Amino acid sequence: MSWNVTADQRSIKKYMPYLLATAIFMQMLDATILNTALPAIAKDLNESALNMQSAIVSYALTLAIFIPISGYLADKFGTKKVFIVSIFVFSLGSLFCALSGSLIQLDISRVVQGMGGALMTPVARLAMIKTYPKNELVGAMNYAIIPALIGPILGPLVGGYLVEIMSWHWIFLINIPMGLLGILFSLKYMPDYSLKSSRLDVVGFLIFGVSSILLSIALELTGHSENYILESILMFLGVFMMVFYYLYAKKAKNPIFPLGLFLIRTFRVGVIGNLITRLGIGSIPLLVPLLIQLAYGQSPSISGWIIAPMALAAMFTKPFVIPIINRFGYRNILIFNTIILGILIGSLSIPSEKMPIYWFIPVMLIIGCLNSIQFTAMNSITVANLRDNQTSSGNSLISVNQQLAIGFGIAMGLSILKFAENTEWISHNNIHTAFQYTFIFLGVFTVLSSMIFRWLHPKDGNNLKSKK
């Protein structure tokens, strides 16, 4: 078992967070920037806007399929080679998207783009885990996690302005210069870690991939389709295939995701906590702009600026995250931070239709601060006790889990909103009231999700504390 570093270790540790940040930002921006541009793309391609959902689904499905093998490919071919190829493929797919002249061409281009996106972030995170000692990893991750908070907020803003000022093609073309910079930096600063690995578990990959596809389709249909029976069937089949994978992995010699990972308490709590807490937190960047537009009648750009303080607050909080976690410990931080986040989400239901929309700005600022702490703590504790031979499979599973968690969060928020809106005794035919009940439900759910982190021990994560 050996890892080979091809660049100076000091330079690697200095620039690795920026490489991971670039990958996260490109992927998160691309995942959200398309939403505001879909009507313009549909018009240009002579399609109905309602038919454009396939452009989003094709990308999400490709991520769900290829993320699970990111660890295997990185171990076999080296993190540097796989990361550079992934950025190139993502950038190439972005170019194909901009050149698309039909919906079919756009869907195929999004698949190419998704193949690169599925490898970029997991491989960069894997290199981070292998580069930094445990006591330095939290600090490094803290810098790299900010784009994950900024991307979903800037996406609608950037997409809206690019479509208005230039054309929809530029929402894809902006990926190319970022990709070129990422490749140039990777050639010099990305370490080339490799590990002697067993053969790829093709059967496990197919079972898990089918499950991910079914769950992803069900999530994409939720909130966009009235066919609840189809959504329920797909969701059931997805969960069934996940259970089938569990039974298979119990007997398989080298499963793609070893069940032994879940014997590690910090990994188990981190994965489950990441999934459950994001169900309430993850839909806020989508629901608040919708509230500002639908209930208060404001423009998309105004709604984007109301949500933007979340990103600014996350950046401001960054220098304080590690001292806060070191002072209070992972268990206390994750329990109480989650509770406070739930209360703040619930407080979004307080303003009436007659109150100024600027009331939301201070709440968004505080949520942004707490999100920065929450995501850094959850991601760090999840990898705290992984052994060297578990980092690749564990990191891949974390990436799949986060992808599904984001989708589940958005789907749940939209479903609750739609249910509240269509239930007269709840909303009284008032969209603002439907939003109020949605925020109350999500707030209560988030507060209750804090119970998951009670499984942590007070000393869990001590090996991640900086010696400084």
Q: Where are the beta strands (DSSP E) in 58-127?
A: none
* CB distance 249 to 259 below 8 Å: yes
- Where exactly are the structural domains of the chain? 1-198, 257-468
Distance CA 109, CA 103 (A): 10
**Would the pLDDT of 396 be above 70?**
yes
Cβ-based neighbours of 2, under 8 Å, separated by 6 or more:
194, 195, 196
Do 1-198 and 257-468 share a fold?
A: yes
Distances (CA, A) of 116 to 15, 93, 179, 223: 21, 8, 11, 27
pLDDT in tens, 34-51: 666 666 787 888 876 556
Could you say which DSSP state residue 102 is in? Answer: S
Please provide the average confidence, as pLDDT, over all residues in the chain: 81
State pLDDT tens for residues 272-310: 999 899 888 888 877 888 788 788 888 766 777 787 788
Residues 6 or more apart whose CB falls under 8 angstroms from that of 73 comprise 82, 119, 123
**pLDDT at 82 (0 to 100):** 92
Using alpha carbons only, what angle is made at residue 151 by residues 148 and 156, rounded to the nearest 5 degrees? Answer: 150
pLDDT score, position 3: 44
pLDDT the model gives residue 468: 45
Q: What are phi and psi of 456, to 5 degrees?
A: -75, 150
Between 227 and 417, whose confidence is greater? 417
**Residue 4 pLDDT level (bands cut at 50, 70, 90):** very low
What are the C-alpha distances in Å from 454 to residues 265, 457, 466? 11, 8, 23
Most confident of 121-130, 343-352, 381-390, 391-400: 343-352
CA distances from 198 to 75, 248, 258, 440 (A): 10, 17, 13, 48
> pLDDT tens digit string along 220-278?
666 555 667 877 888 899 889 989 988 998 888 878 788 888 888 999 999 999 989 98
- Helix, strand, coil proportions of the chain in percent (round to 5)? 80, 0, 20
Condensed to tens digits (0 to 9), the pLDDT of residues 140-192 reads: 776 666 666 666 666 666 766 677 777 788 888 888 988 898 898 888 888 88
* pLDDT band per the 50, 70, 90 thresholds, residue 216: confident
- Burial of residue 199 (CB within 10 Å: 0-12, 13-18, 19+) is exposed
Burial class (CB in 10 A: 0-12, 13-18, 19+), 251: exposed
- Answer yes or no: CATH 1.20.1250.20 is held by domain 257-468: yes
pLDDT, average across residues 440-457:
94
Residue type at 362 in one-letter notation: P
Task: Give which of 409, 403, 342 is closest to 374, Cα–Cα.
Answer: 342
pLDDT surpassing 80 at residue 321? yes
pLDDT digits (tens, 9 = 90+) for 63-117: 877 888 888 888 888 888 999 999 999 999 999 999 988 888 988 999 999 899 8
Residue 198 pLDDT > 80, yes or no? Answer: no
**What distance in Å separates the CA atoms of residue 408 and residue 142, rounded to the nearest whole number?**
24
Percent of the chain with pLDDT over 70: 85
From the candidate CATH numbers 1.20.1250.20, 1.10.287.610, 1.10.3130.10, 3.30.565.10, the one assigned to the domain spanning 1-198: 1.20.1250.20
- Which residue's structure tokens are 């071919």? 77
Q: What is the pLDDT of residue 36?
A: 62
